[in-house]
Amino acid sequence: MAVPLLTKKIVKKRFKKFKRPQSDRKICVKPNWRRPKGIDSRVRRKFKGCILMPNIGYGSDKKTRHYLPNGFKKFVVHNVAELELLMMHNRTYCAEIAHNISTKKRKHIVERAAQLDIVVTNKLARLRSQEDDKYLLTDCKVVFQEEPGGQRVLIFDQGNRISQVCYEHVAEQGNELYELVAHLPDKANNYLTPALSVLEKNT
């Protein structure tokens, strides 16, 4: 793993954002900073008790500006070609995969980053959840059962986790009412994903 070149301590002078005057009173005034220019503005005249205005003194040190807590600067990549730009700068910049990149491309980018010894901040994003869903779909067993009273029960058996989908036919209206009942021993809500996907295929 690449070691950052930065050795100086990163000091952030201010974390709060400067808000536009009266943005907390009027909905039409957005909180994005705009300098007040009114001749009677208390903020522009820097009266005591008013909100602060941006000043050059709030700026961070130039040597540590834009650095992440891990000691690298962030560089957003969309493909492997953009990742290779960091080949000679892997101790200054770290890569961050853009949010609109597919799982297939993400795998190629992460593999290439490991070869080039480039740090990727979000290398586990989207890969872990989709792999879990694929694992659950393969292990899901579907069993149909008929119950007294005209109900047809579709049971999704996933080892120690069972989720049931009940079908009830109403003869008078000629409609089918679907009711999803899930029994999950733990808090893993992602086990509902295969149950809902199979339900959509069968309806």
Closest-CA residue to 15 (of 58, 67, 53, 68): 58
Whether 32 shows a pLDDT value over 70: the answer reads: yes
- Model confidence band, residue 126 (pLDDT cutoffs 50, 70, 90): confident
Q: How far apart are CA 118 and CA 107, in angstroms?
A: 14
- Select the more confidently predicted residue: 167 or 5: 5
* Residue 20: band (very low, low, confident or very high) from pLDDT cuts 50, 70, 90: very high
Mean pLDDT of the region 13-19:
92
**Position 183 pLDDT exceeds 50:** no
Higher pLDDT, 87 or 156: 87
pLDDT at 63: 92
Alpha-carbon distance of 78 to 89, in angstroms, equals 17
Least confident of 13-17, 33-37, 82-86, 126-130: 126-130
Lowest pLDDT segment from 94-98, 125-129, 199-203: 199-203
Helices 127-139, 103-116: inter-axial angle, 10-degree rounding: 120
Q: How confident is the model at residue 186 (pLDDT cuts 50, 70, 90)?
A: very low
- Beta strand 175-183 with 161-170 is antiparallel
| pTM for the whole structure | 0.58
Residue 75 has pLDDT above 80, yes or no: yes
- Asked if pLDDT for residue 152 goes beyond 80, the answer is no
Output the pLDDT for position 184: 41
Q: Are 15 and 25 in contact (CB under 8 A)?
A: no
167-179 pLDDT tens trace: 554 545 555 554 5
**What pLDDT is attached to residue 135?**
45
Let me know: does 67 contact 6? Beta carbons within 8 Å: yes
Q: Quick one: what percent of the chain has pLDDT higher than 70? A: 63
Average pLDDT over residues 107-116: 94
CA distance 2 to 5: 9
Query: Above 70 in pLDDT, residue 197?
Result: no
Separation CA 144–CA 164 (nearest Å): 10
Strand ranges for the chain from DSSP E: 73-77, 93-97, 141-147, 151-158, 161-170, 175-183
